Amino acid sequence: MKTSLSISLICFGLFLNTALTAQSVSEIKFDFSDHHLNTAKNLISVSTFIATKQATVNGIHFTLVVKNNSDKFISVKNVAEQLQVILTNERGLNISVPNNSSIELQINRRVKNVKWKFSSESIVPDQAFINGRKDNVDIKAQEYTQIPAGGDWKINLTLKNVKQVNTPEDVINRGLKPTKILSPGKYILQLILPIISAEQNISEGFSGQYISPFINIEYMK
């Protein structure tokens, strides 16, 4: 367990390409929202490796980990696209970019036969790994994320873009506000990951929602 954790932290440190030490990176586990749809609580577990103090370039860097605890291969909607972010600045304003990959839009795509495309505007995906080995695919070209039985899927991500929000009123209408590059500062971050299986049949498919605690982030350049 300690060896696996050390390897994950080293990989994360290399991804950040900064002077951050492995000790500054923590694994934060997500809670399962058991009121949401029909996923068995222990089927999937989700966590993130993240440094709460970062001196990085072009945004907040972190690694998202999705583990398949079952004895069967699973295929779920693109994890990087599904990830939703709540980012609050020092003024208490939510500056995150609303994610257009909601369940409602997934349903509309299916009903109206709209072609899938990667639509997350704030999250920039980088290298992915399956059971510690590089997954050599273009994340933005994959509608589904494949996770082997008893295995895990990791991806390095950057939270790069936020909304230009200056007042509480702007927060309400932030979907209409211009997008900008994240500025240095202190933030509170929360990550929400809806998991939606590739199965169209409701009796065979599964879905659920995983939520991180609030994470205090000090972002510097």
Residue whose structure tokens are 């790069």:
160
Q: How confident is the model at residue 40 (pLDDT cuts 50, 70, 90)?
A: low
Q: How much is the average pLDDT of 26-36?
A: 82
Which region among 25-29, 118-122, 124-128, 201-205 has the lowest average model confidence (pLDDT)? 201-205
Q: How confident is the model at residue 6 (pLDDT cuts 50, 70, 90)?
A: very low
pLDDT at 16: 47
Domain count for the chain, please give it: 1
Rounded to the nearest integer, the mean pLDDT of the chain is: 83
CA–CA dist 120, 96 (Å, integer)? 11
E-strand spans in 143-221?
A: 144-147, 152-159, 161-163, 179-181, 185-196, 207-211, 215-220
pLDDT tens per residue across span 51-100 = 999 988 889 999 999 999 999 999 999 999 999 999 999 999 999 999 87
The number of angstroms, rounded, from the C-alpha of 10 to the middle of its chain's C-alpha atoms is 20
The one-character DSSP state at 20 is -
**Beta 185-196 vs 84-88: how paired, if at all?**
antiparallel
Q: How confident is the model at residue 106 (pLDDT cuts 50, 70, 90)?
A: low
Which pTM value belongs to this model?
Answer: 0.83
Higher pLDDT, 23 or 119: 119
The one-character DSSP state at 203 is T
For residue 41, the enclosing domain spans 2-220
pLDDT at 20: 46
pLDDT at 57: 80
Q: How much is the average pLDDT of 193-198?
A: 88
Sign of CA dihedral 150, 135, 84, 110: negative
Which region among 33-37, 160-164, 175-179, 190-194 has the lowest average model confidence (pLDDT)? 33-37
The one-character DSSP state at 177 is S
CA–CA dist 221, 131 (Å, integer)? 32
| Contact between residue 193 and residue 176 where contact means Cβ atoms under 8 Å apart | no
Residue whose structure tokens are 């795509």:
109
CA–CA dist 216, 135 (Å, integer)? 30
Structure tokens at 104: 């409602």
- Give the strands of the sheet with 152-159, arranged side by side: 25-29, 44-51, 60-68, 152-159, 123-130, 133-135
